A and B are shown apart, each in its own frame.
Chain A
C-alpha cells in the first residue's frame, strides 16, 4: 500500500517549514502560542516531580543500605520520635508541592481560556473518520467548506467551533495546542494560534471506532497573503474540465453514486455525507491524512476504499479501468 511520506519538501510550501525540522505532531516540538506555554508547564512539573522521585529513591536506597547494620528489633521511643519528625516533614513538603502545582495549574488554565480577540472562526465537525471544515466569514459569501486540511494565517487567533456529529472525537494538534473533545449535542471551542509557519499534523485523540487510527488532519500555518490566496481559491467553484479525459471523469462522477455523498461546487454533485471535493486535488492528503494526494492515490482509494481503510463509510463503487482513470484525472485536476 501507499504511504504518505512526510510532506516536507519545500516544493509543497514556500514558507519555511517549522514542522519539518522535528516531529510535526508532538507536545514537545511546539509552534503554537498555547502549546509553547504548555510545554513550559510540562517541563517544570516533570522536573519537580523527577526531583521528588529522586529524593524518595535516595531515602529508599539509604534505608536498604542501612539495614546491613544489626539493630534491635523492638522500636524504642527515641528512634520512633525521630522517624515521626522525618515523616511529618516529608508530608508537609508534599502538601507544599501539591499546593504549588494546584495554583500553577489554575493560573495556566485561566491563561488558556482567555485567548484574546478571535479573528477567524472555523466550524470543525468530527465524523467517522474524517474532519469536515466550514470557514465562517463576516458575510455569507466568504464562507466555504473543505475537509481534513485547515489553513490558518500565522500569528492570528483562530477560533475552532468543535462539533461531534456522530460519536465523540477529539481535536488534537499537539504542536499548536492541547486537545478538546467534539461531543455530540454540545458545542466546544478551542482557540489556536501558530507562531511559525509550517505544517502541523494532528489526529483524533478519542477512540471513535474502527478507523480511529486513521483520522488525521493537517494544519497549515502560512503568511497572511498566502492564506488569503488560498481562501480565495477555496471560495471558488470547482475547476471546469479542460480536456476530454477530465470531462469523462466528471460525467462518471455524476453518473455513479459518488455524487450522492460528495459535493463538488459548480457541478450537480451536492451530497453531504462525505468530504467536500471541490478542491480535493489541492489538498495535501486524502482519506484523512492517509495518503499524499496524487492521481495514483486517488485512483487506488476510489477503486478499493475498504481494503485501504477497512470499515470506513465509503463503499466500493465498481468502475471500469477507463472510468477509474478518467475520474482520478478529474479529481486530481480539482486544485
Chain B
C-alpha cells in the first residue's frame, strides 16, 4: 500500500485529462474479486448494494402481504393458524418499516447525495461500509428467525406487556428488539455520514440556497434519525433488560409503567414516518423539474416545509395513544399539532401543483408515478387529518381504516416517489435506461391495484373490522370487501413483478444511457452514467440551483486536488467556500470484521448479559484494526 510521496506535478491542474482520469481511477478504484468487493468503501457500490438489499426485503415483505390476503379472503380460513399469522403480520410491518422503507431512502441518499453535492465520496466511508454490513446482519437475523418459526409475533410496535417477559415466551420478542438495534446502528451511521457530507463536502459555490431539495430533505431526515433513534434505543434496550435480567421498567406490579413503552416507542415511531416520507417528498421536488421543464415552484417554501415537518414530527406522538386513557386536555394539544402538520404537507403539494401547472410536461414513467403520488398521498394526508381528531380516532383507531391510512401514506406517499426515483435515477445507477413501455404498464397496474386494494379498507374499518385479526367470523358482513381486496392485491402484485422484471432485464440489456438522459439540472448528471469511481474528473463549481440548466455549455471546475491520494474539497457550512483539502479513507476490510464482531455480540446478548462484556472484546479489536495507521498517503495528510 505504500506509495512514494507524490511529486508536485501530480496536482490535477498540471496534467492532461487522460492522465488525470487514469490517475484518479487508480487512486479511487475498487479492486476486482471478492476481497475488493468486501473491502470497498465506494459510496456508489455500497449504495447500490443497499438499494438491491432493500428491494429484496420489499419482495419478501410482499410475499407475506400476499399470504395475509389469501388468509383473509374468506372468513375463518384455515390456511394460516393464529401463531403463524401473528408472526407474518409482525414480520411484514417490522420488515417493511425497518428493513425496507427507512434503509431504502438512506440507500438512495448514500448513492446520490455525494454526487448531487459534487464530491468524490461520502463522509466516513468506512462507517458507511460498516452500516451496510450491520443492516444486512439485522435483516438476516430477522428472516432466519422467521424461517425457524421464531419470528416475532407481537406486532411491529411490540407493546408491553405482550412483548414482556411474562407473555412473550421464547426469543421472539428479543429477536424483534435486537433487529431494531441493528437497524438503529446502521441508520444512525448513515445519518451522521449524510449530515457531514452535506455540511462540509458540498462543492464550492453550493451555498445553502443552491442545495437540491432532495439533499435538503436528506439533511432534515438525518437530523430526525439522530434525534428520534435514541428513544427507541432506550425502549428496546429496556425491553431486553426486562426480558433478560429481570428489570421492571414496564411492569406495573413493580413500579414500572406500561404506557412508558408507548411514549418511548412513538416518540421515535412518529418521526419514523417522516424519516420515510421526507426523502420521498425531496425526491418529488427534485424529479419534478426535468419533467415539468422548469424549476420547482417555491424552493424556499419547499425547504421550509421540510424543516417545519421535521420539527413538528416530534410533537405528535401521542396521537397513537388517543384511546389509551391519557388526560383529554393533553390529547387536544396533540390533535392540534397533528392537524398542523397538514400545513407543511399542503405547502409542498400546492408547490408541486403550481410547478405542473406552469410546466411543459414530459409524460414519462417517473412523472406518472409523481402524479400517482399526488393523487394517493393527498388521500393519505386527509385521512391523517381525520385520525388526528380524538373523537374520530376513537372509532377508527386500530381498525382497517388505519391500515388503509398508513398504506396510503407509506405506499402512496413514499413508495410511489421511490419507484419514480428508481425509474429516474436507474441510468445513473446502472448506465442503462429502464424500459419505458414496461415502466408505464407497471405504473398503471400498481396505481390501479393499490387503490383497489387499500381504498376499501377505509370502509372495512368503519364497518368495525379491527386490524391484526387472523380471521373473522362469517356472521360479520366483511366477507365481500375482503375478497375484493384480496383479488385486487393480485393486480398490485402483478405491477410490482413487472417492475422487478423490467429492472432485471434493463440492468443487463437496457438501452445504454447518456450522461444526462432527462436533461436534468442537478450535478449527479454532470458525470458519466454510471459515474467513475472518483465521481467527477474535476470538482464542478456551481453558481446556481440548476447548474446544468444555467451553465449549459460549460460547468466551472475547481482544481488543485491531488490525484495520487484520495482527496476531497471541504467547504464552509453556509457559503460553501473552499476550506481545505481533506483525505478520504481507502478501502478496508476492517468495517466487515467490526460488523461481524458486533453481530456476534448483539445476537449473543439475547441469551446472556455477559455477551456485552466478553463480546465487546472482538469489537474493540476490530475497531483497533480499523483505525490503526496503515502508512497510506491518506494517513499523512
Contact = CB atoms under 8 A, between A and B. Distances in A.
Interface in B274-313: 292-295, 297-298, 301
A27 B359 contact: no
A64 B335 contact: no
Contacts of B353: 56, 59-60, 63
A205 B397 contact: yes
A25 interface: yes
Contacts of B476: 23, 25, 201
Given A26-B462, A310-B82, A64 B361 contact: yes
B466 interface: yes
B317 to A, nearest CB: 16
A108 B393 CA distance: 12
Contacts of A73: 293-294, 360
Nearest to A39: B395
Interface in A43-66: 45-46, 49, 52-53, 56-57, 59-60, 62-64, 66
B335 A179 contact: no
Nearest to B90: A207
Interface residues of B, number: 86
Interface stretch (A115-123, A131-139, A181-189, A294-302): A181-189
A181 B162 CA distance: 14
A209 B162 contact: yes
A38 B325 contact: no
Given A5-B475, A38-B395, A166-B161, A185 B466 contact: no
A167 B76 CA distance: 25
Interface string B59-85: 000000000000000001000011100
A108 B159 contact: no
A181 B262 CA distance: 13
A242 interface: no
B395 A60 contact: no
B475 A60 contact: no
Given A59-B353, A205-B466, A168 B298 contact: no
Given A75-B294, A178-B323, A183-B258, A56 B378 contact: yes
B385 A98 contact: yes
Nearest to A71: B360
B398 A205 contact: yes
A102 B343 CA distance: 13
Given A56-B353, A60-B356, A98-B385, A38 B474 contact: no
B343 A91 contact: yes
A38 B81 CA distance: 35
B358 A83 contact: yes
Contact of A109 (B258, B298, B391): B391
A255 interface: no
B181 interface: no
A286 B357 CA distance: 61
Contacts of B351: 87
Contact of A87 (B292, B297, B331, B471): B297
Interface in B321-352: 323-325, 328, 331-332, 335-336, 339-340, 342-343, 346-347, 349-351
A232 to B, nearest CB: 30
A52 B353 CA distance: 14
A38 B391 contact: yes
A208 B297 CA distance: 48
A207 B395 contact: no
A206 B398 contact: yes
B335 A106 contact: yes
Contacts of B395: 27, 35, 38, 42, 174, 178-179
Contacts of A216: 473
Contact of B339 (A102, A108, A207): A102
A53 B455 CA distance: 14
B343 A186 contact: no
B259 interface: yes
A231 interface: no
A207 B161 CA distance: 11
B468 interface: yes
B472 interface: yes
Given A26-B464, A42-B462, A83-B358, A205 B162 contact: no
A288 B43 CA distance: 56
A91 B347 contact: yes
Contact of A205 (B253, B292, B385, B399): B399
B389 A179 contact: no
Interface string A5-39: 11000000000000000010111100000010010
Most chain B beta carbons < 10 A, residue from A35, A66, A67, A168 = A67
A172 interface: yes
Interface in A75-123: 75, 79-80, 83-84, 86-87, 90-91, 94-95, 98, 101-102, 104-106, 108-110, 112-113
Contacts of A219: none
Given A64-B371, A94-B346, A212 B468 contact: yes
A191 interface: no
A109 B349 contact: no
Contacts of A75: 294-295, 358
Nearest to A182: B325
B162 A213 contact: no
B343 A3 contact: no
Interface in A262-297: 289-290
A192 interface: no
Contact of A102 (B81, B155, B336, B371): B336
Contacts of B463: 23, 25-28
A145 B332 CA distance: 36
B332 A109 contact: yes
Contact of B389 (A71, A105, A168, A207): A105
Nearest to A66: B357
A188 B325 contact: yes
Given A60-B356, A180-B394, A185 B257 contact: yes
A79 B636 CA distance: 55
A59 B357 contact: yes
Contacts of A108: 389-391
27 contacts: A4-B475, A25-B476, A27-B464, A38-B394, A60-B371, A67-B360, A83-B358, A87-B347, A98-B342, A102-B335, A102-B339, A105-B332, A105-B335, A105-B389, A108-B391, A109-B332, A112-B394, A167-B161, A168-B159, A178-B394, A180-B394, A181-B324, A184-B161, A186-B259, A201-B464, A205-B397, A290-B473
The 8 closest A-B CB pairs, nearest first, are: A178-B394, A185-B252, A213-B469, A188-B325, A67-B361, A105-B389, A25-B464, A63-B357
Interface of A: 1, 3-6, 23, 25-28, 35, 38, 41-42, 45-46, 49, 52-53, 56-57, 59-60, 62-64, 66-67, 70-71, 73-75, 79-80, 83-84, 86-87, 90-91, 94-95, 98, 101-102, 104-106, 108-110, 112-113, 128, 162, 166-168, 170, 172, 174-175, 177-181, 183-186, 188, 201, 203-213, 216, 289-290, 310-311
